[in-house]
Every structure is written in C-alpha cells, then in structure tokens.
Amino acid sequence: KTRVYKVRYGAKIAKRLLSRAGTAVAVRPDPRPLVLARAEHLLRDPSSLPPHHPLSANGECVAVWCKTGRWCTAQAASILQILFVGQAGSAIAGGAIVS
C-alpha cells in the first residue's frame, strides 16, 4: 500500500529536523495563482516535462516545481539542507575554537 504524505512548506528548522525527510521544507510556496498556472501549463502541454527518471524527474519533482518553481524532490532538498546546516555549524564551532 502506498502512503501519501503532505508536505509543509516554509517550516522552521525544528519542525524540519523532527519530521520525516521530505515532509517539511524551508522553501516557501509560491502564490496560489502561480502554482495553479504551472499545473495548468503541464496539463495543457505534458510534452514540456522531461522523460521520467526515478531520482531526478518523477511525480514529486513535478509537485515541488508546481508549488515552488524549483525542479527537485522535497526529500533531497531537506537532506541537503540538513547536511549544509550541520557543516555550517561545524565550521562556526571550529572558528570559535581557533579564535
């Protein structure tokens, strides 16, 4: 049975860290009329979509693009952001130790 998860856009860092990967992201959604215009465009012209690829061009990518204008998966974006925050924190801590 396939599970469907709702994505929370514009989530604060604590919510993102405590949520299942890909279900809470920092990026804010675009205004509703723009989101609907993107979805309508894809319905009118499905040939504008790239060929399906399980990792880089799938249904989640389409949903994220409609909602934010970014072509990626929410889960990948969340993981990259967590890694970046972790690296930035390490760099700051390392700078504090050196100084």
pLDDT digits (tens, 9 = 90+) for 11-54: 998 898 888 877 888 888 999 999 999 999 999 999 998 888 87
The tokens describing 55, both together, are 């990792």
Structure-model confidence comparison of residues 77 and 11, the more confident one: 11
In angstroms, the CA 66 to CA 60 distance is: 10
Q: Return the percentage of the chain with pLDDT > 90, whole number.
A: 26
Cβ count within 10 A of residue 12: 10
The tokens describing 45, both together, are 């012209």
pTM value is 0.68
